[in-house]
Amino acid sequence: MFESAELGHRIAKADYQGIVPELRKSLLDVQFDVQQNSPLRIIVVIAGVEGGGKGSTVNLLNAWMDPRLIETHAFDQSLSVSLKEPAFHRYWQCMPPRGRLAIFMGAWYSDLIEAHVSGKLRKGDFDRKIQAIINFESMLTHESTLILKYWLHLSHAEQKKRLNSLAADPDMSWRVTEAGWHQLKHYETYRSTAEHCLRLSSTGENPWVIVEGVDERYRNLTIGQHLHDRIKEAMVRPLDNKRIQAPPLLSPIDHRSILDTLHLDNELSRQDYQKQLGILQGRLHNLLRSEEFKKNHALITVFEGNDAAGKGGSIRRITQALDARTYRVVPIAAPTPEEKLRPYLWRFWKNLPDAGHLTIFDRSWYGRVLVERVEGFCSTADWMRAYDEINQFEHQLAESGIIILKFWLAISADEQLKRFQEREQTGFKRFKITDEDWRNRNKWDAYAEAVNDMVDRTSTQTAPWILVEANNKYYARIKVLSALCDHIEKQLK
């Protein structure tokens, strides 16, 4: 894999000086073109061996291009990041908007390779995490992200030479860290680990570019030229996120949906409601106050449902039980302009709860496979891939200790009509009913099919969907609270 990066590539100074001025001009041109016409965001991954010239390359790109349009993020120096931080959380925090170029030093690779070499990560987990990277990158690609991955390689002899010469120069010696010497000593282990990682994560969509790091001029020209050409190409032929020809989902012949199995009229008397409400709220309160929860967990609840199904009321019965310091309710409406410039999951990553806290999403990332699917706001390929992406997202949260429970509040068409009419007549509730609600109502069947597919494809053991029969508000609120308590109890064991 590294053979052609050990050939001793070199560029003569005169040749270099002849090529560079034109290349710099072209790089600037293409950079401004991206900014002005912004069909995509660009993530340049710079990784590789110690002494291979990663830092110099990043400085070079900032010098050759306009640094005002570049964001540089270093992930290659192991930081004291909480072990419990969900995978990829760090990268989501640095996600560039469309039109910008970000350099990710080390990105999601350096730490991973280091963890495997040091024995902290076993083979099976290593491969599993590489697969998660492939999925992550693929999602980014479909979300208009051009990912360019450069690996700077040195042979063992060259690495030794390079580190020694840096160490001997008083102005450069700071660049050689403990990690550098460690890598040199265990060169073969690093090499085979990196090779394994690069081989698996070099996909057709997002291949690695391996660059020999010995000769600075060769390195600079190779990366500069390749970067330029790839961006230029992507500007002309934008990343085609329609390329997945999604096969149509099975639409059952009898149109029977999972929602048809619900007894929407399940009843609960006001008296029983009030008795159970107090008990359940106390139980929830105690669960979220437990040491185990506060230390090792956090909670996310998702509320989706028909318009006017009573999401707000159910949410309020949860928050009433809790200290306001510990929860946040995040209402999800149309994305803001800033959010539109990022992949669709970005705004949810921004709102994860800290340990011991609860975030309640009033509508959620499931908008992708509900309203966006039904209204045609995204392509079929987009919402088809979303099931997987969402499952992976929730899996990453669950792995970090976040407990997830999702509620679909279902009412009948008649009940909805009654509530709409009531709302139009009640003073402070009038704002709650809009033309859009009436429009959605006309697509009742399309929504039912979307809900059916959503539950089928995203109800998992770690993050199950609870279908709530909600014609009777008392019944619905009690079912929500009780399911929530049960689920948390199970997870805390």
Query: How far, in Å, CA of 379 to CA of 4, rounded?
Result: 41
Residue 323 engages a copy of itself in binding (rule: CB under 8 A): yes
Show Cβ contacts of residue 265 under 8 Å, excluding neighbours closer than 6 positions: 412, 469, 471, 472
Stretch of 236-244, 320-328, 392-400, 442-450 lying at the interface with a copy of itself (CB under 8 A): 320-328
Residue 312 engages a copy of itself in binding (rule: CB under 8 A): yes
Query: How far, in Å, CA of 285 to CA of 289, rounded?
Result: 6
In whole angstroms, how close is the CB of 122 to a copy of itself at the nearest point?
31
DSSP 428: G
Q: What are phi and psi of 103, to 5 degrees?
A: -100, 125
Residue 44 engages a copy of itself in binding (rule: CB under 8 A): no
Chain centre to alpha carbon of residue 347: 9
Contacts within 8 Å (CB) and 24+ apart, 289-295: 290/492, 292/492, 293/356, 293/488, 293/492, 294/355, 294/356, 295/355, 295/356
Identified binder of a copy of itself from the candidate list 10, 185, 255, 289, rule CB under 8 A: 289
What are the DSSP calls for 218-261, one per residue? Answer: HHHHHHHHHHHHHHHHHHHS---TT-S-PPPPP--TT---GGGG
Largest CA distance in the chain: 90
In whole angstroms, how close is the CB of 301 to a copy of itself at the nearest point?
13
Q: Return the number of the residue (8 or 67) whose C-beta is nearest a copy of itself.
A: 67
Torsion, Cα 427 428 434 437, to 10 degrees, reads -100
Containing 421, the helix (H) or strand (E) segment is helix 413-425
**Residues in contact with a copy of itself, shown as a per-residue x/- string from 135 to 174 under the rule CB under 8 A:** ------------------------------------x--x
Identified binder of a copy of itself from the candidate list 115, 322, 381, 417, rule CB under 8 A: 322
Query: How far, in Å, CA of 320 to CA of 329, rounded?
Result: 12
Residue 186 engages a copy of itself in binding (rule: CB under 8 A): no
Identified binder of a copy of itself from the candidate list 245, 428, 435, 493, rule CB under 8 A: 428
Residue 55 engages a copy of itself in binding (rule: CB under 8 A): yes
Query: How far, in Å, CA of 249 to CA of 94, rounded?
Result: 35
Residue 324 engages a copy of itself in binding (rule: CB under 8 A): yes
β-sheet bridge partners, residue 151: 47, 210
Residue 422 engages a copy of itself in binding (rule: CB under 8 A): no
**Residues in contact with a copy of itself, shown as a per-residue x/- string from 328 to 347 under the rule CB under 8 A:** xxxx----xxx---------
Q: Return the number of the residue (38 or 202) whose C-beta is nearest a copy of itself.
A: 38
Q: Return the number of the residue (355 or 374) whose C-beta is nearest a copy of itself.
A: 355
Stretch of 158-166, 247-255, 256-264, 426-434 lying at the interface with a copy of itself (CB under 8 A): 426-434
Phi-psi category of residue 251: left, alpha or beta, with phi > 0 → left and psi -120 to 50 → alpha: beta
Contact, 282 vs 321, CB < 8 A? yes
Q: Closest Cα partner for 405 from 332, 469, 464?
A: 464
Stretch of 108-116, 314-322, 375-383, 480-488 lying at the interface with a copy of itself (CB under 8 A): 314-322
Stretch of 83-91, 313-321, 413-421, 457-465 lying at the interface with a copy of itself (CB under 8 A): 313-321
Identified binder of a copy of itself from the candidate list 19, 20, 23, 69, rule CB under 8 A: 69
Identified binder of a copy of itself from the candidate list 1, 11, 23, 74, rule CB under 8 A: 74
Judged by DSSP in three states, 264 sits in coil
Degrees, nearest 5: CA angle 121-127-128: 90
**Residues in contact with a copy of itself, shown as a per-residue x/- string from 345 to 374 under the rule CB under 8 A:** -----------------x------------
Residue 105 engages a copy of itself in binding (rule: CB under 8 A): yes
Residues comprising the chain, all counted? 493
Of 16-35, binders to a copy of itself (CB under 8 A) are 25, 28-29, 32
Identified binder of a copy of itself from the candidate list 128, 316, 439, 490, rule CB under 8 A: 316
Q: Return the number of the residue (192 or 320) whose C-beta is nearest a copy of itself.
A: 320
In whole angstroms, how close is the CB of 195 to a copy of itself at the nearest point?
26
Residue 78 engages a copy of itself in binding (rule: CB under 8 A): no
Stretch of 78-86, 242-250, 257-265, 318-326 lying at the interface with a copy of itself (CB under 8 A): 318-326
Judged by DSSP in three states, 405 sits in strand
Contact, 379 vs 368, CB < 8 A? no
Q: Which residues bind a copy of itself (CB under 8 A)?
A: 25, 28-29, 32, 36, 55, 58-59, 61-63, 66-72, 74, 103, 105, 171, 174, 282, 289, 312, 315-316, 319-320, 322-325, 327-331, 336-338, 362, 427-428, 431
